[in-house]
Amino acid sequence: MVLIYLQAIGCVVFVVSSFALGIWLKRHPSKKTAEITTRIMHFIMIITWVIPIGTGLTILTEYDELLGMPPLPFSMISLVTGAVVMLVGVVFFVISIVVLLDRGEGLLAFELTKKLAAKDIYKRTRNPMSLGFYLICIGLSLLGGSTFFILWSLIVLIPVHVFFLKYFEERELEIRFGDSYREYRRKVPFLIPSFRKSSETELTDKNGDE
C-alpha cells in the first residue's frame, strides 16, 4: 500500500510542478529559463514519477491482492495482446532514443536536445517516446493480469503525463526552437502516428538539421 500512496503523491507533485513551472516559463520566456526549468522538471519527474512507477511494475500481481480487486482474466488472448502491445511500445521507445541522439543531439532528461528532432519517427508523431511508454505500461498490465495497474495507467498515469507534455514541454520547446517548432507542431500529430506521405510532413528546422 505504501507504494500506491507514493505513486499517488508523486503524480500530484508532478502535476503541480508541471503547472507551476509552466506558469514560470510563460512569465519568463527565455531560452535560459527554458533550459533551467526543463532540467528541474526532469529531475522532479524522475524522483516523483519514474522511480515509483518503475518500482510498481515489478509487483504488478500484488496490487490486486492488496486492494481486493479481481485480476484480469488470465487468458491466452490477454497474454498475446499484452506481449504485442508491449513489444510495439518498446520499439517506439528505443527508436525514439536513437533518433534523439542522432537528430536532436540529446538524450532523454540527461542531455537537452540541441536540434529539433523532426525526422524519421518524429515525422509521424511528436511524442513517440511517450507513446511507447504508455504502450509498455498497458502491455505489462495485460501480461501481469493486473486490473489495478491497467486502470491506474489509463485513468491517472497517462493523463498526468499528457498534461505535462501539453502544459510544460510544448511551451519550453517553443521557447527553445521558436518558429521551427511551431511549424512542426502544426504539421505533426501530438500522439497518434500519422502515415501520410512523408513529403507532407518533411520539415527543416532552423538549427541546420537538414
Reply yes or no on whether the pLDDT at 81 is more than 80. yes
- Please compute, for residue 177, the number of CA atoms within 13 A of its CA located in the half-sphere on the CB side: 26
> What pLDDT shows up at residue 63?
83
Q: Which of 132, 161, 156 is nearest to 63 (CA)?
A: 156
* Rounded average pLDDT over 149-175: 95
Q: What was the pLDDT predicted at 144? A: 87
16, containing H or E segment: helix 2-27
Question: CB–CB of 201/188 below 8 Å?
Answer: yes
pLDDT: is 190 or 113 the higher one? 190
Mean residue pLDDT across the chain: 86
**Residue 105 or residue 28, greater confidence:** 28
Checking if the pLDDT of 49 tops 90, the result is no
In the chain, where the domains are located = 2-201
Give the residue-averaged pLDDT of 58-87: 85
Residue 185 CA to its chain's centroid (Å): 16
Specify the higher pLDDT residue, 1 or 163: 163
Whether 28 has a pLDDT exceeding 90, the answer reads yes
163 closest CA partner among 7, 49, 15: 15
The one-character DSSP state at 203 is -
**How far is Cα 133 from Cα 84, in angstroms, rounded to an integer?**
14
Q: State the Cα–Cα distance between residues 162 and 156, nearest whole angstrom.
A: 10
| Maximum separation of any 2 CA atoms in the chain, in Å | 56
- Higher local confidence (pLDDT), 107 or 201: 107
| CATH code given to domain 2-201 | 1.20.120
